[in-house]
Amino acid sequence: MQLLKQGAEADIYVTEWHGKKAVSKVRSPKAYRHEALDSAVRRQRTVHEAHLMSAAKAAGVSTPFVHFVDPDNAEILMEFVQGKQAKDALDVKMCMQIGRYAALLHGANIIHGDLTTSNFIVNNRLVLLDFGLSYYSERMEDMAVDVRLIKEVFTSAHVGLRGAFPAFVRGYGSVAGKKKTSQILANVKEIEQRGRYARVE
């Protein structure tokens, strides 16, 4: 197996599955955690992440196909998605599609938790990765945290791309409807204002 990326929590390897290129996401043991607790935590997070990948797919969001989950080894074996990270190929149309995806997730009460342009791969379609921080919630405030993060990414990593966030909002609105979208945007504003006050203090 070839190491593709070493993360804080998991390592990504490129491997094969029945002759096809595949990705193995393995949560590595953490020495600072008690051994039995550590293996329970890794097991639980692995199962949780794989479950949310499938739930997202059921909600209409394109995610890598999961070949198998091995809770004992904290491993998810999934389809290798060929393509660039959205962060290196972002355009306005893609921002709109990201908005649609976010609204589909939120419609299923799934909060992605790390909605950045690094976690999307583009080929013909847009594929959303990394459900390691995802969870279920019905709260608009939690949905707004997803929206606020991608907005922040658009205005920091993609300053040159004009109209990115408005396009996201159009995509989001086309799925979630006007009422929910404006409620969530109001929540985003509130979070941003809170951040501003916190900085002044």
- Separation between Cα atoms, residue 66 and residue 22, nearest integer Å: 10
50 binds, among Mg ion, ligand ADP, none (CB under 5 to 8 A by kind): none
Q: Are 126 and 120 in contact (CB under 8 A)?
A: yes
Contact of 164 with 180, CB cutoff 8 Å: no
Q: Is 76 in the site for ligand ADP (CB under 6 A)?
A: no
Angle between helical axes of 164-200 and 140-156 (0-180°, round to 10): 100
* Token representation of residue 182: 């404006």
Pick one of 24, 56, 64, 169: the residue that binds ligand ADP (CB under 6 A).
64
38 binds, among ligand ADP, Mg ion, none (CB under 5 to 8 A by kind): none
Stretch that binds ligand ADP, among 33-41, 73-81, 98-106, 150-158 (CB under 6 A): 73-81
Nearer to ligand ADP, 112 or 151 (CB): 112
Please identify, using beta-carbon distances, which residue of 6 and 44 lies nearer to Mg ion.
6
Q: Confirm or reject binding of residue 130 to Mg ion (CB under 5 A).
A: yes
| Size of site (CB under 6 A) for ligand ADP | 20
Query: Phi and psi (nearest 5°) for 31?
Result: -65, -25
Q: Count the site residues for Mg ion by CB under 5 A.
A: 2
> Which letter, b or e, does each residue of 79-109 get, where b requires 16 or more Cβ atoms within 10 Å of its Cβ?
bbbebeebeeebeeebbbbbbbbbbbbbeee
Q: Least distance to Mg ion from the beta carbon of 114, Å? A: 6
- Binding of Mg ion by 49 (CB under 5 A): no
Among 130, 134, 164, 173, the residue binding ligand ADP under the rule CB under 6 A is 130
Which of 39, 97, 117, 119 is the binder for ligand ADP (CB under 6 A)? 119
Contact between residue 76 and residue 89 where contact means Cβ atoms under 8 Å apart: no
Sign, CA torsion 95/114/101/23: positive
Catalytic residue among 70, 114, 142, 146: 114
The owner of tokens 């609105």 is: 173
**Is 114 considered catalytic here?**
yes
Residues classed as catalytic: 114
Using CB under 5 A as the criterion, which residues of the chain lie in contact with Mg ion when the complex forms? 119, 130
